[in-house]
Structure formats: C-alpha cells, structure tokens
A and B are shown apart, each in its own frame.
Chain A
C-alpha cells in the first residue's frame, strides 16, 4: 500500500517538477535536454512512471495508466507551449544580435554611362525609327562630289564659304555635313526612302563655341507628294517626343544649297514654355535644326525623277541638342573625357 502511494505521489511530484523546471529553461538546448530527461525515451521520467505500473494491482492499473497518460498529455502540451515561446525568444535574440549601423554607406556597383551624344543620338534614332526611318551611317572621309557637288554646291558656290573644310587631297575631305550620306543612299535606292544618317562631321573651326568635330543627324524622306507641310508635321511629332508635349515648332526662311525652300526650325522654349527666359534669350524660341524641301537638282543628281517624287531633309546638331538637354555650357566638355563630367550624365 505504501508503495502504491509512493507511485501516486511521484505522479504529482513529477508534475510539480515539470512545472518548476520548465520555467527555469533558458534556451532551446536546455528545452531539448529537458525533453530527454522528462518526456521522451525509455529512461525518461515519464517512462519510468509508466514502468511503475507493473507493480500495481490490476484494478488500480487502469486508473494509474490513465493518470500517467493525462500527465504525459499535459506535459507535452506544456512542452509545445514552451517550445513555441522559446523559438520566438531565440528568433528575437538572433535578430537583436544582428543589429547593424544602417547609416554606413554602401559601395555601389560601378555602372558606366553612355556619352551624352550617344544618349541623344539613341533617343532621336528611336523616335525616327518608330516613324519608319532606317539608319544609314556614312563615312567620315568623303569626296568633294558627295559632300558638295552632288548636294548642289559645285566649286565656286557661295555656300562653300559657309563651311570651312578640312581637305585630305584635292578630291577627298572630311565631310562637313551628314547630308553627304543622302546621296549614297539615293544613288542605290529608289523611293520610298526614309533614312536617318547620324555621324561625326568636321569643320575647320575651333573656339569657345565651335569644335572642329561635332555630330549631326540627317534625316531624309523621298516619296510621292511630300510637301513642306509634311516636314512640319513630322517635326511637330519630333519636338513633342524630345522636348515634351505642347512643344511647338516655328519655321523661318533660311538657305542651304541642297534644299529649296530651306528653313531654320525653332521650337518653343522648353524651359519657359515660350514666355522668354535666359535659355531662349527672351525670344521664347530655341533654334534646333535646319531643314527644307529637297532641291530638285539633288534628286536629279541621284537619278530620281523629280517630277514624280519630292522629299524633305533635316539636319540636327547633336552637341547642341545634348547641351540643351543636359544644360552643358561648354562644347569642349563633351570631348574632354573628364570622368567628373561623364559620371554625371546617367540616363539608363
């Protein structure tokens, strides 16, 4: 009888100890040690209690077994509660241990930039390519014929004085305009023609606002029934894409030997919207390109029937466009490879 009581007593003792022990556990390692000692395995305290059942009378066994099972159930439930609590606690501790100084600067991945001229060039190409223009890149070294004569600027033409030319031989020169590319294309291809010809051009001019090398982008359309109105319509689209919706164009008379009529094209100042500011020098307009209806003689020089076809051409200065776009005040900065400049003009 005494033994029986001992057995029953140890049940309540164990329960009290479990309750007590659980509260002293500090981490999951201790928790699992506790589990091994009290709950699991053949040598655990619970198992030992179970083994004690054999010593009981059969009538008592059932109630004792039930009591042990209840204790077991209770203990596992308490363990699970504790396990959950411990996991949260330890996660918390781990996070706290990984507290860092968030203000320390990070070393950024090095990403280079495209040159401002390339950026502008790509932007313009994308706009015109979407309008059906192919890209044709001519050569930087040209003959006098393609650069001048075929463009209606024969020897002794006053327009030759407009462009100080670098000569390489009596016949070869550095192209002064990307228009030279027009002729090569028109010689090889019959209309419809829509080409865009970007590239470097050269003039013997070197001062604060002129660089002996600069970049142009020439556009040419030749097809049936092309008019000055089509030129304006296309340039309207162009300026809105480049300088924003609401930008307007203005044509005014000018002169290029290879177009007639020839126009200078201004767009409404994108800085002040046309009210007048320092950028547009108070005029409300910014000169952006030269253009015109392709001179009949140029078409004829290329074997295109000027009665059946007509066209327009335009030439954009890329340096000027880039300088306006990025607010660069000195053209020489574009060719100086100064990393302090190049790293600023990030536009991916």
Chain B
C-alpha cells in the first residue's frame, strides 16, 4: 500500500527521518518494500524570474533573461506560449535533471540532464519547465497540467529550490501488509501504528458535521442477506453542488494513484484511502421506490456497472437495489444507472461492511475488481464503517458541496463498535516469549497500541478496539488470547530482546531417518555411483504426454487426477508415470546438444481409487531412470538394474514385455522374488521421432514401494569356505533361438553347488552349423563340507550336459 509521508503527518508528529521511520515500521512488522521521494528523478530546479522576454524572429521561441537569485542571471530560450516578462517559473539549471517529454510535450520519455546549448544561434543556459517535466500533474499541483510553463506564485523566493514548494520533497512508502492486519489498509491505520512505534499521540481526522432538520420521508433500508452484509448505513445529502475538489484533496488522491473526478466521488475515494472504508454515493434522483434493499441477485439478473460493462448475475452475487432494480454490485462497483453526474442534486451515501469472501468470489467470478473490492477482500471492520460515514459527511461540510440531512439509517447485526474488554495473564504472555518483559513496559506498549491497559497483579485488562478484529475472540470459548498479546508486546518491545535458549524443559527425543528413508537415500547414492544424475520434475504433466507414450484408451495411466484450475493444460494432470517427464527431459538435453547422459528421478505417482476423488489417492514412490546416447544400450540399462540389485543384496529376474512406448523386442519386466517391480527397455522409434530425438534412449521405472520391502536387508556374514572353488569352461552348440536365460536356468537347476555362471562368448558361423550358435560358459562350483575332486566335478558336468540335452537339445561343442 502506498502511503505518502505528508499525509501521515496529518495524524502523527513524525520527527524521524524517512530511513528511521522505515526501520521502525520494519521492526514492528511492516516491511517497506519501496520508499522514494516523489521528486527523486528531478534535481537542480530553482524559481526563475523572467526579466525580459523577446521573441526570436520566424520561430515560436522566445529568448529570456532569467534571474535565478544567487545562481545569477542567465539567458534561456523557451518555446512555451505562456512565457512572459515578470513571470516566475521553475528553472532547470545547467546540470539539472528533469523528465524528458515527447513531441506532444506531455508524454514522459525518461529523464534528461540539462546542458548548455544554442537554439537558432541563441545561447540557452538552462530550461524553463512545465509541470510534466517535473513529474507533476494538475492534481498534484494546480497549473501543472498546463501544456506550457508551470507558473509559480508571485511570492516565490527567486533562486530558491522549488522542490518543497511543489511538494516534490514528499516521500512515498510502499508498505507490505500481512493478512492479519486489514485495519492497516489505510493511511489512518498506518498512522495508528506509526503513533505507537514513535510513542506519539494519534490525531484523529475531524468527523464533526451538523445535520439539518431535513428528512427524506419514508426512506428505508432492508438487508435481506445479513450474513453477507453485517452492517449497512446510508445517509441522505441534499443541495449537492457537483464541482471540483480542492487542491489538497486532489493532491492526496493523486499521490495514492487516484484521479480526481468530482467532489462527491472524490470524497468516497478519499475516505477509502484515509479511513480504509469503501464508500459509495448514489444519485438519489435515480433511486426508485424510496428504499434500498441489500439482497442476493436473482439468477440471470443484469447490471451495468459505472464503466459501462454489463454483467449477468447469480444468487452468489450480492447486489444493492432500490425499490425496483439493482443499482450497485455490492462492494465492487456502482451501477451506471445511479452514477454521480454534473447534474446530481442529492446523493445517498453508503458505508457498509460486506463479507470478504462474498466480495472476493463475486470479483473473481465476474472478473471485475476495483479499489473497493480489493479493500473488502482484505476485510473491513464495522468501526471503520461508522467512522467512514462520519468522515464523509464531515468532508461534505468542509467542502461545502452539500447539506447533511438527518436521514441516517444504520442496519446492523448488533455488533458493537466499542472496545471489547480482554483479560490476560502477564506471566502467560511472558511464557510464550521465554523472557520476562517488565510489566511497566508491557503496560506502556499496550497504551501506545490503544488497548487502555489496567494491571492488577498478574492480570492485565485490555480494551480491544473494534478495528483490531484480529485480536477479538472468535466464539465464546476463545478467551485465552495471551499469544496475541505476546505478539503485540514483542513486536513493539523488540525481537532483539529474545534470548536464545535450547528447550531446557523438553524431553529427549530420538531423531533420524526411518528405514524407508535410509533405503531410499542409499538407493539414490547407488544410482549416483552408477553415473546417473538426479533430476526433479513437476508432479503434474500434460494430457499430451499420455499420447506421447501411445497409451491405449484403457491404460491405467490414463486414469489421472485432473487439476481443476491448472496454470495451463500442460500442467493439468497428476503424474501416473514418470516416463513422460523423463523422455521430455532427455529431449530437452538433446536440443541443447547433449547427445548422451544418464538421469534419474525419485518421485510420487498418483493413483486414484476413483475419479473425482473421494478419498486420498495412492501416492506411490517411484524410480525412473532414463539413459540416452551412443554409449548406452539395453545392456547398460540392465547393468544399472543389476547394480541396484547388487547394492541391495537381492536378485532381479527379467521377462520380455510389450509396452506401448517401448521397443517390442527390447523391453522387460523387472521382478524380485516373484514380485513385479517395473520395467525397462528401449524407447520405441516412433516415440523417439515424435520428440525429434537424434539418439536412442532407454527408460526404467521401478515401484519403490514394492522395492522398499528389501531396504535395509539384513546381511549375515557367511564364513569363507575352507575348500577352493572349482571352475569349468563349457562350450555348447544349440539352436539359435535359445536364450542365455534358458541355458543358465537349466544349468543352475542341474547342480546345487553352482555359485556362478558366466557367459563369456557367443559365436555363430564358421564350424557352427547354420541355424545354430555356440555359447561358452564358465561355471563355478562352490564346495561345502568337503573339497571336490576332479571325478566329482566331472559327475556334475555330466549331469549338466544330460539336462541340457534333454531339455534344450544342447550339445557340448566338439
């Protein structure tokens, strides 16, 4: 929120520098996101008195002798039509900075430094300035809007710096407010805090006015939806004279970014900014039926707002109606049908509290927001609702733009705007903080915050102002609000008073990772050791990713949870597989010219029991490995799988599988002890082409929930065998289609002493008959209770050979 220092000073005597004020506000919980001097881009501007002014022939220019007091008298060329001898104007000295304007002399195009120059042969040492060149508008300073020189008052000190005169030395603070302090969403609200931190008196803005005897006979207000509108007040003002607002008010509004429209409209905007209370003024002559009704809109009911937009409403939208029709979209914007015009002679002021959620929903649903709705969305209190109306009526009196009738209606649900008493224990306040703040300090802080403290032993009685809704009890049982008080105390007392302690009264707890967490971390480290880099992708993906994977319509992966309000369609589904994100990551790397590499991700996939969700979906921890490039193959991926198994002291088995996005002959499932954990394989060429990939890629996905069964598997030392192992190399000839797996299984089954079977050669052609191949194995036999002699080993080999012959028609190679 933008807060001008000059405006704050109306309510608090601020005797600290802007920097000090920023620091004090920061310490009290109000971060100043930005702070700048209004005239920060403008320097070196003094009041110049034009002693003489001669036109330069055949041009629109004049050559002036300008007296700049102690800066001397200088010749300045000027093109403005209102320059004349005897006038006083802002003079930018050589070296001064001003705003540069475009050809229209109105559009600001950056800043410029004034240099000595020559125009049509005439030397010019400086520049006489317009308001725009100083960053001013008509609202900020009367006359500044003129497309020519800014005329300064006759009594301006010649040669003096004009920044102060023009209000350019004002400071603007952009203050970030936390959601619990809507009461600070106004200049007065910030002033209350400034008064507290500086320990100064808060000077309330005047709210006095005199009601005439005039009444608007028979006028009434009905609130049909008190849940959405807990307070609604209306006041009738007549003999209205629409006109311009005074300069001070226009400047204030301009400083906070609001354009002046007319006195009555400006009063409503002024009160919004000053008090934080959104106000509305209806042209009374357009209100039919002599009544105001606050109700939910009928389905399809229409309203045209002040800006000419038409909206079709629903009962979720609150409307303000006269006796016949909607005249305002409550809290958002007034209706065009009752707007204030130049001809307006009587107005009905509205000051109300609307439920913040209702306003927010309406503003969002209709895509329509305003300063008013933004304010309501943060929360308006009833104290301000009452104060705002009084202030508006005072301003009517002060500006002399109307007469305040005695027709005032205040419909409310009985909420008091008086302070609410609250008792807290001082020792409990201190128990939150862990230090003992002296009771005098606590009382002093409470006084400064306008809580009117009274102390009786350990009991502190406070009066909570109605605008501090964050401090008020919510419901009957909610009385022990000492943490709120602790928070108020410490933010003023200073957080630097908090002493570091280390839970002296706490019990010892055993911390650390669970077996699952340790197992996952160990797995990640294994993957790193296998040369794989961890990556992280969003938990959501795109419907097009499901198509990329060519998943059939009934594939379980297509049953993905949909985000109702995604950022875009590409981020609209919760992932049911990690493969697509991995493929996209590989593709992105290739596009960067990286033609090989290894990636892994450990993340959750989301499996709903039913859609839409009625219960928590299954969130399954999953590992995805993606490798690509010419150095990789099915077998390098298999080596990764084996590496994982090895690290966990388990054994994987593999079986061919068909997957829509994998090579039909280079894909397998991965199982452990009969349980299927996932798959890996080469990415299908059509998928690769769709991603414009230049190299091949291989993908693996493993269900970590299943794999986690073996996390932290207990390892037991096996005593070393006393007897040496025996190995035999065996070369076989077999049908070409027989796999290693078939042979190895058959060998393994034939003898219980086999510790290892290793394939070291596959050969076709030469002496091997067509349709056949040769495979050579090294088989290692591990003795148990006694050593093996050659004879025993030969018996083992013979049995293996018989088994191979019988089962697979495999012969020993001659």
Contacts and interface: CB of A to CB of B under 8 A. Distances in A.
Interface of A: 109-115, 117-118, 122, 125, 128-135, 137, 139-141, 143, 155-156, 158-159, 161-162, 166-169, 171-172, 174, 192-194, 196, 200, 202, 204, 206, 212-213, 221, 223-230, 232-234, 236-237, 250-255, 257, 260-263, 293, 295-296, 306-307, 310, 334-340, 342-343, 348
A141 B528 contact: no
Given A135-B514, A221-B503, A230-B502, A204 B567 contact: yes
A339 B594 contact: yes
A261 B589 contact: no
Interface string B493-532: 0011011111111111111111001000100110111111
B432 A135 contact: no
Interface in B535-554: 535-540
Contact of B535 (A139, A229, A337): A337
15 contacts: A113-B533, A141-B561, A141-B616, A196-B511, A223-B506, A230-B506, A233-B502, A251-B495, A253-B490, A335-B537, A337-B535, A337-B588, A338-B588, A340-B592, A340-B594
Contacts of A293: 432, 483, 486
Contact of A171 (B356, B521, B566, B613): B613
B170 interface: no
Contacts of A307: 480
A228 B537 contact: no
Nearest to B483: A260
Nearest to A193: B509
B604 interface: yes
Nearest to B524: A114
Contact of B179 (A130, A158, A171): A158
A188 to B, nearest CB: 15
B454 to A, nearest CB: 23
Given A158-B356, A226-B506, A310 B378 contact: no
Nearest to B600: A112
B487 A262 contact: yes
A113 B182 contact: no
B527 A112 contact: yes
B565 interface: yes
A253 B500 contact: no
Contact of A253 (B29, B356, B499, B529): B29
Contacts of A340: 592, 594
A223 B503 contact: yes
What 3 pairs between A and B have smallest CB-CB spacing? A227-B434, A229-B434, A110-B531
Contacts of B360: 161
A159 B588 CA distance: 38
The majority secondary structure among interface residues of chain A is mixed
Contacts of A348: 528
A162 B179 contact: yes
A115 B512 contact: no
B585 interface: yes
Nearest to A283: B26
B160 to A, nearest CB: 34
Given A162-B179, A335-B538, A261 B506 contact: no
Given A111-B528, A233-B503, A337-B585, A225 B536 contact: no
Contact of B513 (A125, A161, A172, A212): A125
Given A112-B532, A229-B501, A338-B589, A254 B178 contact: yes
A250 B495 contact: yes
Nearest to B488: A261
B369 to A, nearest CB: 13
Interface string B583-602: 00100110010100111100
A169 B612 contact: yes
A334 B510 CA distance: 33
Nearest to B626: A337
Contacts of B564: 166-169
Contact of A255 (B180, B505, B612): B180
Interface in B592-629: 592, 594, 597-600, 604, 606, 612-613, 616-617, 619
Contact of A227 (B356, B432, B536): B432
A342 B534 contact: yes
B700 interface: no
Interface in B428-487: 431-435, 480, 483-484, 486-487
B357 interface: yes
A272 to B, nearest CB: 19
A162 B347 CA distance: 37
A253 B534 contact: no
A339 B498 contact: no
A221 B507 CA distance: 11
Q: Which of A110, A143, A162, A193 has the most CB of B within 10 A?
A: A110
Nearest to B431: A227
Contact of A111 (B28, B501, B531): B531
A334 B588 CA distance: 14
A227 B525 CA distance: 39
A85 to B, nearest CB: 41
B423 interface: no
Given A162-B179, A204-B565, A213 B538 contact: yes
Given A135-B513, A310-B432, A117 B536 contact: yes
Interface in B32-90: none
Contact of A296 (B483, B490, B567): B483
A115 B534 contact: yes
A227 B501 contact: yes
Given A133-B511, A192-B509, A250-B496, A139 B619 contact: yes
Nearest to B585: A337
Contact of B434 (A115, A159, A168, A230): A230
Given A130-B511, A141-B574, A204-B567, A115 B535 contact: yes
A196 to B, nearest CB: 8
B335 interface: no
Given A158-B180, A255-B181, A234 B503 contact: yes
A131 B508 CA distance: 9
Contacts of B585: 336-337
Contacts of B27: 252-253
A45 B443 CA distance: 120
Contacts of A233: 500-503
B604 A212 contact: no
B432 A200 contact: no
B685 to A, nearest CB: 22
B539 A174 contact: yes
Nearest to A294: B483
A114 B534 CA distance: 5
B355 interface: yes
A77 to B, nearest CB: 44
B357 A169 contact: no
A122 B521 CA distance: 9
Given A204-B567, A262-B487, A229 B179 contact: no
A212 B537 CA distance: 11
A229 B435 contact: yes
A338 B29 contact: no
Nearest to B572: A166
Contacts of B231: none
B283 interface: no
Contact of B589 (A140, A225, A337): A337
A212 B432 contact: no
Q: Which of A115, A134, A229, A295 has the most CB of B within 10 A?
A: A229
A130 B511 CA distance: 6
B571 interface: yes
Nearest to A162: B179
B562 interface: yes
A261 B491 contact: yes
A169 B613 contact: yes
A146 to B, nearest CB: 10
Contacts of A122: 521
Contacts of B339: none
B189 interface: no
Contacts of A306: 480
Given A168-B612, A168-B613, A253-B487, 20 more contacts: A111-B528, A112-B529, A118-B524, A132-B508, A135-B511, A158-B379, A167-B564, A168-B574, A212-B571, A225-B431, A227-B432, A229-B501, A230-B434, A253-B495, A255-B180, A261-B491, A263-B495, A293-B432, A339-B594, A342-B535
